[in-house]
Amino acid sequence: MRRPVDAVNAHYPEVVLSTRDRLIDAAARLLDQGGPAAVTLREVGRLAGVSHNAPYKHFADKEDLLAAVAARELARPPRPARRGSGSPAEALSQMMHGYVDWAMRHPARFKLTFGSWSVDSAELGAAATAARTALVAAVSAAQASRDLPQGDPERLAALIQATTHGAVDLALSGHLARSGKGHADPKDLVDDLLGYLSS
């Protein structure tokens, strides 16, 4: 008979994580496998090797647990572009392509992270601010090298993020127009925008 600890070790053979971290991991894994409907506190607890209401000792409720998952994801995707990989414009393009790749690979995490939050988690707000700051810096650099038009870099960053986010969201929900031949790719739309902005 398998004991709870076996379920844990099957996934984390070498590493010992706190119960809180194991709960977040379990929720993220269930999200990837079966979408939001698959994330039940009972299954989260079972995967983490605890009872179905142990999560209430670490999170206020289910939404609070999901906010922790979103905060962890938000701190991850907008990784700064590799250095020496080209012009500031190319670095910006790669940054947005990375965002698209992450979102298309983990649609449920993407939808969760950019969903509506009634709880205002400080962790979630700080992660969002950090991600935005990195984007504004990349936009400013591209403006300095004359690859983007001048003007408020925050506003231009918001335009680029809106286009990228919208292209991904429409693609994931199947509402993106098949343009001519072949399926339209969110990356193509992002590059279209950057091309129009640089000319």
Partner DNA sequence: ACCTGAACACCGTTCAAGT
**Residue whose token pair is 């408020």:** 152
x-marked contacts with its own copies along 91-120 as a string, rule CB under 8 A: ----------------x---x--xxxx---
Residue 176 interacting with its own copies (CB under 8 A) = yes
Give every CB contact of residue 117 below 8 A, 6+ residues apart in sequence: 63, 67, 70, 124
Whichever of 22 and 187 has its CB closer to DNA, that residue is 22
Minimum CB separation of residue 55 from its own copies in Å reads 19
Residues 122-147 as b/e (b if ≥16 CB within 10 A, e otherwise) read: eebeebbeebeebbbbbbebbbeeeb
CA-CA distance, 175 to 136, in Å (whole number)?
28
Q: Rule CB under 7 A: which residues touch DNA?
A: 4, 19, 39-43, 45, 50-54, 56-58, 61-63
Chain-centroid distance of CA 164 in Å reads: 13
CA-CA distance, 50 to 52, in Å (whole number)?
7
Exactly one of 80, 130, 162, 183 binds its own copies (CB under 8 A); that residue is 162
How many of the chain's residues bind its own copies (CB under 8 A)?
43
Whichever of 13 and 196 has its CB closer to its own copies, that residue is 196
Distances (CA, A) of 96 to 40, 42, 70, 89: 32, 37, 19, 11
Minimum CB separation of residue 183 from its own copies in Å reads 11
Minimum CB separation of residue 55 from DNA in Å reads 8
Minimum CB separation of residue 174 from DNA in Å reads 21
What is the binding site for its own copies (CB under 8 A)?
Answer: 107, 111, 114-117, 128, 132, 136, 149, 152, 154-159, 161-167, 169-170, 172-180, 184, 186, 188-189, 192-193, 196-197
